[in-house]
Every structure is written in C-alpha cells, then in structure tokens.
Amino acid sequence: GAVVSQHPSWVICKSGTSVKIECRSLDFQATTMFWYRQFPKQSLMLMATSNEGSKATYEQGVEKDKFLINHASLTLSTLTVTSAHPEDSSFYICSGDPPGQGGGYTFGSGTRLTVV
C-alpha cells in the first residue's frame, strides 16, 4: 500500500525556537496533503490542507503565522512550528490521499513535539 514517511518521530525544543516536520509520500504523488494535531485520548483535529505549488488552507482557529506549511513538490510537505511554546506540545500527523483507497488517507507515523 501507499506509504507516507514523517520525520522526526519525536522532538524536544526550547520555548521560542522553531521546529520543522517533514512529510514525504514515498510511492505516490500527493497533490494534496493534510496536517492534523492530536491531543492525548482525543481524535484528530485537522489543522490545514496543503496543496502543491499553492498556499495552504487553514482551518478556523489555526494560526497560519505560527504553523507554516510548505508543499513545494508532489512528494514533500513541511510543517514549521514557529516560536514554539509549551502549549504547542502535541502529536502532529500528516497524511496524503493516494489513488485506489476510496478516499482513505494514508497517514505518517506522527511527530511528538515537546516544548520545554
């Protein structure tokens, strides 16, 4: 099946610094990729939809200047958490929608961000 590779899987950073998370589709071209955030014991919350070669579409309440998304190629999307603060600590997951899965996304393995 389709594979989405996400790195890093775990990162700790100091408050005020920026962190970049990479999401790569390994065996399909991802025109669209989706970024989610998940708090412990909660479901996934869609943050933004990234489209190759254009600006991302952010969900209501998501700060576009804090969560910078770049989708420069059909296989790579990045999420940069700028000026991170402890409240940004969470589990971030990316996904793509490869063909042949009836609308089902393939998710990356997730990135656990801890801001200290």
Cα-atom radius of gyration of the chain, to the nearest Å?
A: 13
Tell me which stretch binds another protein (CB under 8 A): 13-21, 64-72, 74-82, 90-98: 90-98
Beta strands at 67-73 and 19-25: parallel, antiparallel or unpaired: unpaired
Nearest to 94 by CA among 16, 33, 12: 33
By CB under 8 A, tell whether 1 contacts another protein: yes
Only segment of 14-22, 62-70, 71-79, 88-96 that touches another protein (CB under 8 A): 88-96
Residue 7 backbone zone (phi > 0: left; psi -120 to 50: alpha; other: beta):
beta
Rule CB under 8 A: which residues touch another protein? 1, 4, 6, 31-32, 34, 42-44, 46, 49, 51, 91, 93, 95, 97, 99, 101-110, 112
